[in-house]
Chains A and B, each alone.
Chain A
Amino acid sequence: MSSLPALLVAAPLLGSVLALLAGLVRSETGWPVALVTAAVQVAGAGVLASRAFDGTVSYVVGGFTAPFGIELVVDGLSATIALLVAVVSLAVLAYSRVAGPRTNAFYAVYLLLVAGLTGMSITGDVFNMYVFLEITGLAAYALVASGEGGRSARAALKYLIVGTVGASLFLLGIGYAFVATGTLNMADLSTQLAAVGYTEPLVQAAFALLVVGLFVKVAVFPLHAWQPDAYAGSPDSVSALISALVSTVAAYALIRIVFTVFTVDFLQANPVARSLLVAGAIVSIVFGSVLAVSQTEIKRMLAYSSVSQFGLVVGAVAVANETALIGATVHLVGHAVMKGGLFLTAGLIATATGAQTVDDYEGLIQRLPLGAGAFGLLALAMVGVPPAVGFVGKWYIALGAVEAAAWPLAVVILLSTLLTLAYFARILERMFFRDASGERVAVDGVSPGMTGVVVAAALAAVVLGMLAFEYGQLLEPTVQALLS
């Protein structure tokens, strides 16, 4: 069907409404609706991805031709992200059936988040991207608030305030770009901005506002303050979904804005703009890791780890060559699988044994071999031990930095592996080489779905690593087009 891109956004919206309406008839009926929708979404995104790797798919909504109407553009990069969104949201459903919040309102918002994320990944219009950014944000705030108790409500409020500031900066940036050019279509913007001149203050201000707005959404240090609370305060299935997807899609938007809208020529004309990206990357990598080492709660530690890992992606954007961008994409996908998997494993361990802090993990291998094994495997993958996917992403990014002769960044990127090891080694040592302290706490409620998805994530982290080099070659034409 030629309308597939539009239907890919419409399908989760439809599912969201159906989940809401099903709740009027009978409560706790949201899960099956969400499952069917997510399965359809995976199929649709798969078909779209197979087409997008043959050649960029573009689609004009409502017959209003671009640059006036809204255009959806799907290239290899956006198709990858859209497929990632679909697959991860399906996988997290397997976990949330037993663990989850079970209300219909929860699944309605869950699917709304999927719609927002899919929309952000396939749109070719900056204002449309802002609309989907807001949908994503609002749905994410509501999901974080769906936990029980005051902690999640407080985290959601903080997330709401900081996230809205980020989205407003993004909107302001769009406004500046619109004033400068009179267009909102990304492809049109890139030619018009070049015509206006890359050193015009208006264009530079638009770039700064857009990038800083997205920094808030990606949670780059020091704009990350919302993120640890949001990840640690929400229910396990929500932390996994949000950590795997929301910042990832925001980072994708950053790549899109920097390379499709402003292009590499802008970065070359403005060394300050590149310095902004480099500074964000370095500070994020170092401070994210340092803060992760100092955490006692597992979920907060994983959250700070995300700050550091997204520093790598921002670094790749700053390097702006082919190798680094392939690395950024691989690392986005890999990080989503690994971090989502780690949060789900942490949730599984907390459900099975009640362990939530680093010290609680002592001797976990004796109490819960499966949970400890999966956590260990995912942690090593995150550190970047070959052949896991974490290695491939970091390898490409580091190689790109060396190719571009960006030495300070290259050093920090290589150092980041050691820093990642620093915070995961603490846990690995406690899990595998210490005896369990205290008596066993027998908490149960682990479903086969929860176990299955954790094992699947751990295996995927390794298998994706083996496929990643071939995927990198497949992505090459897309990245070349992005950089030209």
Chain B
Amino acid sequence: MSDSERRVARGGPYVGSPIIMATVRVVMPFVFTFGLFVMFHGADSSGGGFQGGVIVGTVVLMLGIAFGIETTRDWIGTRLPVALIGLGMLAFLFTGIGSVLLGAGFLEYAVYGDLGIPHASKYGIEFVELAIGLIVAGIVTGLFFAIAAGTKGGESA
């Protein structure tokens, strides 16, 4: 075992590997697309926001492992995960409250059909799945950075 490997095993400073970096560059867009694909399948087939969100979140994890966690954190910023979580929650809540405002019950998607949206019930669920995906992706990213910060006392979310 070389010296640099030993440092990595102890959680020492990041060591770049051209193979991993190149692989991540190639795989990343496909993983991201696959995450969205899974999210869009929540309404009428297997899939959904929770699974899709985790897959999208792993994109950031891969970046962190390939290019160094500190670098990735600086690139993404600590606010983005929090903003994603907030945005997802708001999108979900306003879908529910919006249907109340339109005169139906909470989360009664069918009422959005009155606004001219076809298959309102299906797309309503789809939209909520996307919102859940945002929340989950934000939480996975935030947790990853929080755990990586370790005992240094970093606060991320």
Contact = CB atoms under 8 A, between A and B. Distances in A.
Interface in B65-114: 79, 82-83, 85-86, 89-90, 93, 96-97, 100, 104-110
Given A1-B100, A7-B100, A20 B105 contact: no
A87 to B, nearest CB: 24
Nearest to A62: B107
Given A20-B85, A23-B82, A13 B93 contact: yes
Contacts of B89: 13, 16-17
Nearest to A1: B100
A59 interface: yes
B154 to A, nearest CB: 13
Interface in B133-156: 155
B24 interface: no
A105 B157 contact: yes
A3 interface: yes
A356 B84 CA distance: 42
A3 B107 CA distance: 10
A7 B100 CA distance: 9
A10 B96 contact: yes
A60 interface: yes
A24 B82 contact: yes
A161 interface: no
Nearest to A63: B108
A155 B90 CA distance: 32
Interface in A149-188: none
A21 B100 contact: no
Given A10-B96, A63-B105, A24 B79 contact: yes
Interface in A47-61: 59-61
Interface class of chain A by DSSP: helix
A14 interface: yes
Contacts of B97: 7, 10, 14
B85 A62 contact: no
A294 to B, nearest CB: 35
Interface class of chain B by DSSP: helix
Interface string B108-128: 111000000000000000000
A61 B105 contact: yes
Contacts of A7: 97, 100, 106
Contacts of A20: 82, 85-86
A194 interface: no
Contacts of A23: 82
Interface string A375-387: 0000000000000
Contacts of B85: 17, 20
Contact of A24 (B83, B90, B93, B108): B83
B127 to A, nearest CB: 13
A16 B104 CA distance: 25
Contacts of B109: 62
A3 B100 contact: yes
B140 to A, nearest CB: 15
Nearest to B156: A105
B82 A3 contact: no
B86 A10 contact: no
A146 to B, nearest CB: 11
B111 to A, nearest CB: 8
Given A10-B97, A17-B90, A105-B157, A63 B110 contact: yes
Interface string A322-352: 0000000000000000000000000000000
A23 B142 CA distance: 15
A314 B100 CA distance: 39
Nearest to A23: B82
B152 to A, nearest CB: 15
Contacts of B157: 105
Contacts of B93: 10, 13-14, 17
A91 B14 CA distance: 49
Nearest to B110: A63
A452 to B, nearest CB: 31
Contacts of A3: 100, 105-106
A208 interface: no
Given A20-B82, A20-B86, A24-B82, 8 more contacts: A2-B105, A6-B106, A6-B107, A7-B100, A7-B106, A16-B89, A17-B93, A21-B83
Interface of B: 79, 82-83, 85-86, 89-90, 93, 96-97, 100, 104-110, 155, 157
18 contacts: A1-B100, A3-B100, A6-B96, A13-B89, A17-B85, A17-B93, A20-B82, A24-B86, A59-B105, A60-B105, A61-B105, A61-B106, A62-B108, A63-B104, A63-B105, A63-B108, A63-B110, A105-B155
Q: Which 9 A-B residue pairings sit nearest by Cβ, starting from the closest?
A: A6-B106, A62-B107, A17-B89, A63-B108, A21-B86, A3-B100, A3-B106, A17-B86, A14-B93
